[in-house]
Amino acid sequence: MKHFALLSSLLCAGLAAGQTLSCDLAAYKPQPGLRADIDNDLLRIAWQGEGGQELRAVLGIEKGQPLIRELAARKAGGAWIVLGRDLQPEFRVTSGRRRVSEQQLAPLRKLKIEITPEVLEQEKWNVFWDAPLSVPGRAGTNPGLPRSPDEIRRASATYNASGCHVKSDGARLEVSFPGLAMGIFSGKLMFTVYKGTNLLRQEAIAKTGEPSVAYKYEGGLKGFATAGAKVIWRDTARAWQEYRFGGKPNNDPFALRARNRLAVVERGGGSLAFFPPPHKFFFAREIEINLGYVYYRKDDEQSFAVGVRQPDREEMYRRYGFSKELWERRVAQSRQFAEGNFALYNAPPGTWQRMPVYFYLSAEDGRATQAAVLRFTHEDTYKPLAGYQVAVSHFHTHFSEQLSDAGTLDLQPPWVPVFRALGINIAMMSDFHSDSHPKDPGPLRLPEQKTYFEGCIRNSDDGFLIMPGEEPNAYFGAHYSAIFPRPVYWIMSRAAGQPLVEDRPGYGKVYHVGSAVDELEMLRREGGLVWQAHARTKGSDGYPDAIRDTVHFRSEQYLGGAFQSLPVDQSEQRLCEKRCFGAFDDMNNWAGAKYVVAEGDTYTKYPEDESYPHLLVNYIKLDRVPRFNEDWGPILTAMRAGNFFVTSGEVLIRNFAVAGAGPQRTITAEIEWTFPLEFVELVWGDGTTTQRQIIPATDRSPFGTERFKIPLAAANKKWVRFAAWDSAGNGAFTQPVHLK
């Protein structure tokens, strides 16, 4: 206990005095390794970190402004290293008007759904093609364009705090200051520290009553002394860079295109890392260019600020092509992405939006601190798990088109090393979307398919398989992904009297598909699977609801749907809480077992991009990856059996089972996690409604493992699934088990 006896003598005598601080400690419970005390109008927090390190934060108020009077760290038994004094939390918010997209409205109109104000209000919150800060906007992307400059509002946070509230929650401590105002938002400022880790989370928690708000935020700390300090980071080529504040002051935050979305302040032998949440900070985009998500700002010769940020706009991705035709087509697409899609976050009226920035205090140097922070994301890779293979799906890389244009099949596209570096074993691609000639009756499509297959086999190996899938959007309704256990040649048309299958020289078996019946028959014969892409948004708005009673939806070939973090609402505890899980659970209430596959739905990518935060992946239960020239059937068989889980990467589910029979069952799940855990849950449906049991897990230490054993009263339950979520919004979930 002597390390956590918060005595005034531990603090340097130079801490400035502020206004009287009155803090409500009624919800605070002292515990070893996590303590808070009021002393001389300051709230002093001390906690046990990683590797024996000890951390402290001293909080106060001056003229209503919450301040961090001191941040410090020390090694066990060592001297305290002060990382910053008299630091002021800062937040800025930029907002625009949320609009539905024409892409969403098209399938609804085709389904003859009346586009009422109520429909628009519901569907706009699931939009992808929206860029609220792009004035005047790209014609045809959204109704109600052009945008006007007065739709965009910017505000910085101000504070009028007179005290604070201190709350214990398991192995964490929360300190909140009311009185935050930020333009159309109002709420509170909160700091959270976690026993067992060096993390400190600072967040604005605020809501707005205005309709149709889409927003982004910047958050950080200002007031660091420039003397003896520097900021270090790795650039997109993974080379170390540093800035020592010798230049002119900055007018705006200086965006760093830092690898891993991470930079570090070094001073006095210690360091302070700053970074955003690894996934929930990022709204869905078409591309993954690193836009600079951390910043420094030299305010004057004596002080600087650091924090996290999102830019105002997208950038055009790197164009490619040897031929003029392909180059110009990719330029047009690149511009379309940059102008039409930068959707920001949703802020429905009355929802508490959480806008966090993470800091990591350390008595080590900056490089050691960078390595410590990267442990939370396994260095931005998907950790190998015995008995599982990591699979991704739904990427439009225009591979066939690129190979043809290059004039060689022996071309490594830039996305292959990206996937390999992430630890991905199986890539289910979706070419023939906005490239090549998907609807061609054969003369163009078949040679393009052959090129596609050849390129995939030449870039696959014993541990990495590229499956040449497709997003055909042919006869099943809206958008869907399709994969087969082998390369399959097929054409999306069938002339009168033409057979379903024929042999063609140079290709072998070729399917002619002219209806949903034909398509389902092809899938049955070949053992293929399809699933609804981006259900209830984009070109699948209104689906799979519209096809829930069709033969193909209820078949074994229709696996279910896809999962992508779209939209992002910072008031939700889970990724894609309403749209994705709403469709997921509804499908299982409607029919037999339906599963969801994590999808990317992005385009070309390069090693310098930030791909990790935009991805969720599938861990498929397989001992090994089939080679390209082998049967890929084990992959599809495992998926059809639901033997896979979806994860952002920070939470892994090693084992999951439903044991027992009759009315009393037992759910067992062995999980591991990195960030402090938030909760685990059982979710079930009775064929009509969905319910859940949430088990708080805030008392667990970070970097933990545990085998949960949860009783389940199975009566009147049709299916059940398990999920685990951490404090940064990351998580993992199983596929549902239908009870018998």
Q: Please indicate whether the domains covering 2-93+155-312+345-375 and 649-740 agree at the CATH topology level.
A: no
Residue 710: what pLDDT?
97
Residue 575: what pLDDT?
97
Q: Give the HSE-up count for residue 619: Cα atoms under 13 Å, Cβ half-sphere.
A: 23
pLDDT in tens, 539-556: 999 999 999 999 999 999
Q: Mean pLDDT score of the chain, rounded to an integer?
A: 95
Residue 656: what pLDDT?
97
Residue 179 pLDDT exceeds 70 = yes
Helix (H, G, I), strand (E, B) or coil at 1: coil
How far is CA 245 from its chain centroid? 33
Residue 235: what pLDDT?
98
Residue 334: what pLDDT?
87
CA distance linking residue 274 with residue 308, whole number of Å: 7
Mean pLDDT of 411-419: 96
Residue 5: what pLDDT?
38
pLDDT in tens, 454-474: 999 999 999 999 999 999 999
Residue 595 pLDDT exceeds 70 = yes
Residue 99 pLDDT exceeds 70 = yes
Closest residue by Cα to residue 157 from 360, 359, 361, 353: 353
Residue 19 pLDDT exceeds 90 = no
pLDDT in tens, 700-714: 999 999 999 999 999
Question: pLDDT band at residue 17, thresholds of 50, 70 and 90?
Answer: low
Residue 336 pLDDT exceeds 70 = yes
Closest residue by Cα to residue 19 from 79, 73, 66: 66
191 and 175 in contact (C-beta within 8 Å)?
A: yes
Burial of 443 (0-12, 13-18, 19+ CB in 10 A): exposed
Alpha carbon distances (Å) from 282 to 149, 567, 576, 597, 712: 24, 10, 12, 20, 35
The β-bridge partners of 266 are 230, 271
Residue 16 pLDDT exceeds 70 = no
Residue 333: what pLDDT?
87
pLDDT in tens, 267-308: 999 999 999 999 999 999 999 999 999 999 999 999 999 999
Residue 619: what pLDDT?
98
Residue 1 pLDDT exceeds 80 = no
Rounded to two decimals, what is the model's pTM? Answer: 0.96
684 and 692 in contact (C-beta within 8 Å)?
A: yes
Residue 317: what pLDDT?
85
Taking each continuous run of H as one helix and of E as one strand, the counts in the chain are 10, 42
CA distance linking residue 652 with residue 654, whole number of Å: 6
CATH code given to domain 649-740 = 2.60.40.2060
Closest residue by Cα to residue 567 from 122, 108, 208: 122
DSSP string of 495-541, one letter each residue: -TT--SEEEETTTEEEEE--SHHHHHHHHHHHT-EEEETTTTSGGGT
Residue 15: what pLDDT?
52
Q: What is the DSSP letter of 29?
A: -
Residue 11: what pLDDT?
41
Query: What are the residue ranges spanned by the domains of the chain?
Result: 2-93+155-312+345-375, 649-740
321 and 329 in contact (C-beta within 8 Å)?
A: yes
Mean pLDDT of 636-660: 97
Residue 7: what pLDDT?
34
Mean pLDDT of 472-486: 97
Residue 8 pLDDT exceeds 80 = no
Residue 6: what pLDDT?
37
Mean pLDDT of 607-627: 97
CATH architecture of 2-93+155-312+345-375: Distorted Sandwich (2.70)
What letter represents residue 292's amino acid? Answer: G
Residue 13: what pLDDT?
41
Residue 9 pLDDT exceeds 70 = no
